Amino acid sequence: MRVTPAEPAAGPVAPAAAGAACPARAGLRWAAWVLGGATILGAVVLSAWELAAARVPQHRAALEELIRQQTGLSVSFSQLGVRWGWYGPEAVFHSVALGEPGGRGALLRAPQLIVGLDAWRMVRSGRLEAGRITLVNPDIDLGAGAGLAGARAGGAGHEPVPSAGARLLSRWRDGRIDIQGGTLRWPRAGAPSPLTLSVRHAQLRRLASAWTADALVLLPASLGASAHLALQMTGDPARPAGLTGTLSFEGRMLEFAGWRALVEYPPLQRYLPQAGRGNLELHTEFAQGSILGADGTVLAQALEWRAPVAAAAALTVERLSGAWRLARLGGHWRFEAHALEIGAPASAPTTLSVDAATDAAWARGTLQSAPLPVVAAIARWYAPQLPLAQVALSGAVRELTFDWNARRPGGVRLRTSAQLENLTLATPARDMVLTGLTGHVAGADARLVADLQAHAAQLTLAREQRVSLDNLAIAARLAIAADGGGWQVSTDDLEVRRAQLSVTASGAIGAAGAGRQPQINAHVAVKDADVALLARLLGARALAAFGAPAAQLTAGRIASADLEWRGPLAAAQPPWTPGGTGFRGAVGLRDATLAGSDPWPDTQHLDARIEWHGPSMHAAIDGGQVGTFQLVAASAEWDARGRAMHLAGRVTGSAQQALAWLRQHPQLSAYASGLQDVDLRGDTLLDVDMLVRQPRERTRVTAVLDGAQLRAVAGLPPIDALRGTLAFTAGHLQPSTLTGQWLGGPVSLGVAERRETGVTALAIFGRGLVDVRQALLAAGASDDAQLAGNAEWSALLTFLPATDAGGPRWRVRADSNLIGVASGLPEPFGKAPGALLPLHVEVQAGADAGQLRLSLGDRLHAWAALSRSGELWRIERGTVRLASTAPTPPAEPGLLLEGRISRLDLPAYLALWRQIGRDAALPALRARLTTSQLIVGERSYPEVSLAAQASRAGGQLQLQSADFSGTVRWPAAVSGAHPALVQLARLNLAQPGDAALGAGMLAALAPAAQLSIDALQWQGHPIGRFDALLAAQADALEVSELHLAGDNEDTRGTLQCRDGVCRLQFSLDSRNAAATLSAFGFRPELDASHGRLQGELQWPQQAPTSLATLDGRLHMQLEQGVTRAGAPSAGVPFALLAVPALTKGMSPGLSFSSLTADFVLHDGQATTSDLHFDGDAEILVRGRTGLLAQDYDEQAWILRGEERLPAALRRLGPTPKVAAVWLSLRELFNGSAADRSRAALRLRGTWVEPIVTPAE
């Protein structure tokens, strides 16, 4: 190569460029030296290679000897060649077979065996030197050859395969062996074919006593996927006791069942799983042939260990993962596993620590945070006789310790203790689950003591409807033993509490051996248990085992219960079914409910004690309620297998509700025909005796009545205080006698069945004595003293059952002669006590219609057609005639009343007719009556004729008499907007009480009435037309728009009666005072062109009409008038005027321009302090006027005009004192009593004879 240097450039950078050319030339020289050395080395190597290749045929024997010395095995091959490999020259042997010298077979066969020649060593030594040996796809059969033939056959006295392999390796010289592909055949004892492994690659190196090996093999399907081994050790393989090193194993997807079959050591086989797969990593360290420690990881699933005995179940673990470590500490081994996952993933990883003696004389360890199902499965696998298969356990083992020592005596070699958390007990099918428990288990060998505790456990049962019971407090100590193939669980202290509920149990359950029937010997006590809850917990099937009554138990409380159960335990059968079983107990029920079945009602509030011995049940019942009846005392006996039942008891209850129950269940009518149609009320006592024995039953019932009430027919008063006995046998009523009280008198009834027209009828014959006054009160009339006495009566009531032609019917015939009844009523009802007046009543009715006929001697006859609507009987049409002839049935609907009545209470009749018109059970009423005496309050009117009509649309009454006449009309609903109308043409009030006519009508026409009187008279004096609107409520009366219009006066006012007080406000304006006084019955002692009287008065509402009850104020004002003398015959004086009394006898009278006064009324007195007469004379008056005593006590001052006064008064004429009184009037009225003593005159005496005297 020729390099031409560049010309240096001019300028200051030229020297630097020249200096840079020196390093470039130095680099080229170094490259030339390296290339030359490589060329020389290549030439040497090439020369050696050509030399070796040229001498290969000459050194065939030497190569064979080289392999024999290197491996210790004899070799045979078909062809030999040399080639240049990656690491130098290589001798390639084709179709190679290696075997032990003198062996009968080849230990290894390979298509190629490649020996790498060490050129450097060959150059130094001048002979063939092997660097490494490579086997390509060899077929290695460890059972071939003479030395391993016995191992393959498994014969006695032959060398095992591992020992033979170690012996072969010990003869191998230093070097390296690589295996690329191929197979490895491992002989198995007792197996016809060896185990074949596929080798991916393997390498073995030896340097003096140091060995390294690495291999990756593919496993057969029976063993898994692959395995990787790595070995580092020092020593002679033929002498295991001197080996030291490490061994690593990594298996993927291992099938543990296949590996278990490879292990020929039985004690180790027991602890290896017989099924499952997973990954396993193992790292061991050994020295002088002994293992110093090991560690690794495992990830496996679906593990299964074979049961120790044939009848037991295998141990299965769904998942196992974690890291572990084994170390030798002095004279014992320690095994530790951390972050274990056994079964399902847990909240806290499981840890295991085990210490064991090297000679296996003892072992102890601790397991923490382990899943309870896995621990229970291990316990069941270790001790299969325990009944753990009948219980599904879940939860966590917080800590488990065990201590096993072979030196202890039998039964105490293994000591265990476990703390359990979140414990759940369940059946295998999980139809019963108990959660929320904690526990502690301790024991030795197969005897354990378990302490279970819970403060808020929950029990869940899988029923048709899920049952859940929470807040359970549980405390239990269980002794568990497994001996001789049998097992036993016993307790002396098991208690469950929930609120008031308490369950305690003691006893034992066990079996003598595997497959033997369990035996039970237990005692259970229950307190304050809810029956409904217990029924849901036990299920319908468990309750039905106690018989039909227990199956019908739906509610209540078990106050206490004791059960004893001894003998075989069969869960699917009643406890008394197996032979030799003793099952007895007692239960105290409180407030229980038995569900009834049609037609029988439910039994409620049942208090009973039930005892049983086997299937024989006995119940002593203290009380309860059967439908509407109260169960007083009863007893029941039955066989739980349903063979027979006997019930005897006494019940009390309402007869009315019992009969209503009979009506609701027509299928029971055969037990008492017709009885369901009777209205019997009150308490009754029933004695029932029933024997149910298939296929028939026998029933006997006795009903004792004490104080019952019988309503024989709707509408009649009931028979009270009914006493007696009704007996029923085989569904038939026996003749019975009852006594009672009806309408104030005794009654005797005979009740029996009788045949009538081919059917069985219920007949009730009655006889008794009736109090007429009680009869009137029962009919709704008032207690009228004009009727009194007693009368005998007799009646026959027959109830006929329903037929094809119609429903049930009843018929009653009643008669009385009324002897002993005295009537002060006017005709036609008046009679003497001893007079005979026959009364006959006959009624025939069916389900919907009937007829009534009634006669009272020859005085009254009535006929009515009846129809029924619901529980009411309605008169469709009828006639009541007050005559001796029978009435004619009317053709049209309605009730006709005709005849004459001696006395008639108008308000009562008016209210009655209004009620009849509104009553849906009665038709429209038409009445044509005359009466000799019409009663209105305290006033009576003679000879009044009445014509009335009443219906739902309203009514009308026309009255006609000598004193008054008028018409009353009322709408369907009287209200303030639609009041009743009372129109009277004339009315004469003789006294204030005569106003009761309007009040009485208002009471009957409430709540509102418009009263109009065209001509109102006061004691024969016409006072004008009167109008008022009356409104009445329950406790109030209001009269508004009150207006009295006379010829000379006009009066308006209002009246309110409320809270027991009546208040009147009025104002009377007169255009002629004298005429007004005369119209109201007063003497016309004064006349005025204009007058006004205003007042506010009140009086007690219930007090009699009297001036003594009046309180209030009056204001009087008269203008432009004159006093005058009035004749005594003209009426009573109007005493409030006072001045006429002072001027009595004066003629002509005194004229005045005004007369005013204010009065206060109280306690029958009218008091004034300002009566002022101003006219011809001026007079001042103050004092009291007695309204009841009709007297005066007043003082008068004559201020001027004394000459016009009578002579008697003039002699008492004006004095300076009187003048002083007038001049200081204000001081006089407001001064002291001493000042007022200066009055001039005093007015005393009566209204008729007043006395005027000087003032004292």
Quote the percentage of the chain above a pLDDT of 90.
14
Q: Exposure pattern of 827-841 as b/e (b: 16+ CB <10 Å)?
A: ebbbbeeeeebebeb
**788 near 773, Cβ under 8 Å?**
yes
Lowest mean pLDDT of 156-160, 1073-1077, 1116-1120, name the range. 156-160
Q: Exposure pattern of 1110-1149 as b/e (b: 16+ CB <10 Å)?
A: bebebebebeebbbbebeeeebebbbbbbbbbbbbebeeb
Report how far residue 616's alpha carbon sits from residue 639's, in angstroms, rounded to the nearest whole number.
Answer: 5
Tell me the two tokens of residue 346. 């847990």
Confidence of residue 13 (pLDDT cuts 50, 70, 90): very low
Q: Which residue has the tokens 């008054």?
A: 964
Q: Is residue 1218's pLDDT more than 60?
A: no
Confidence of residue 385 (pLDDT cuts 50, 70, 90): confident
The confidence score (pLDDT) of residue 440 equals 93
Q: Is residue 689's pLDDT more than 70?
A: yes
Q: Is residue 518's pLDDT more than 90?
A: no
The answer, yes or no, to whether the previous bond of 601 is cis (omega within 30 of 0) is no
Q: Is residue 362's pLDDT more than 80?
A: yes
Q: Cα separations (Å) of 544 from 540, 639, 760? A: 6, 12, 41
Q: Which residue has the tokens 């292990």?
A: 263
Q: Is residue 25's pLDDT more than 70?
A: no
Q: Is residue 8's pLDDT more than 90?
A: no
SS3 label, residue 665: coil
The confidence score (pLDDT) of residue 570 equals 72
Q: Is residue 1232's pLDDT more than 70?
A: no
The residues that bridge with 816 in the sheet, in sequence order, are: 793, 839
CA angle at 996 for the pair 992 and 1000, rounded to the nearest 5°: 170
**462 near 477, Cβ under 8 Å?**
no
Q: Are strands 787-800 and 821-823 parallel, antiparallel or unpaired?
A: antiparallel
Q: Is residue 553's pLDDT more than 70?
A: yes
SS3 label, residue 592: strand
Q: Is residue 1228's pLDDT more than 70?
A: no
Average pLDDT over residues 250-277: 83
CA angle at 604 for the pair 600 and 608, rounded to the nearest 5°: 110
Report how far residue 48's alpha carbon sits from residue 294's, in angstroms, rounded to the nearest whole number.
Answer: 50
Q: Are strands 954-960 and 939-951 parallel, antiparallel or unpaired?
A: antiparallel
Q: What is the pLDDT of residues 972-994, one digit of tens each?
A: 888 888 888 888 888 877 776 66
Q: What are phi and psi of 1210, to 5 degrees?
A: -65, -35
Helices and strands, counts by H and E, the chain = 22, 66
DSSP string, 352-381: EEEEEETTSSEEEEEEEEEEHHHHHHHHHH
Tell me the two tokens of residue 694. 């298939």
Report how far residue 865's alpha carbon sits from residue 877's, in angstroms, rounded to the nearest whole number.
Answer: 6
**773 near 782, Cβ under 8 Å?**
no
Q: Which residue has the tokens 């079983």?
A: 581
Most confidently predicted of 302-316, 444-458, 681-695: 444-458
Report how far residue 925's alpha carbon sits from residue 923's, in angstroms, rounded to the nearest whole number.
Answer: 6
pTM: 0.54
Q: Is residue 250's pLDDT more than 90?
A: yes
887: which DSSP letter? P
Average pLDDT over residues 870-883: 81
4: which DSSP letter? P
Q: Which sequence spans correspond to the domains of the chain?
A: 307-512, 517-615, 1047-1256
**945 near 938, Cβ under 8 Å?**
no
Q: Is residue 224's pLDDT more than 80?
A: yes
The confidence score (pLDDT) of residue 1235 equals 42
Closest CA to 1138 of 1236, 1253, 1247, 1228: 1247
**944 near 965, Cβ under 8 Å?**
no
The confidence score (pLDDT) of residue 1222 equals 37
DSSP string, 754-798: EEETTEEEEEEEEEEEEEHHHHHHHTT----TTEEEEEEEEEEEE
Of 157 and 515, more confident: 515
Sign, Cα dihedral of 1172, 1178, 1182, 1183:
negative
SS3 label, residue 1201: coil
Residue 36: in which H helix or E strand, if any?
Answer: helix 21-55
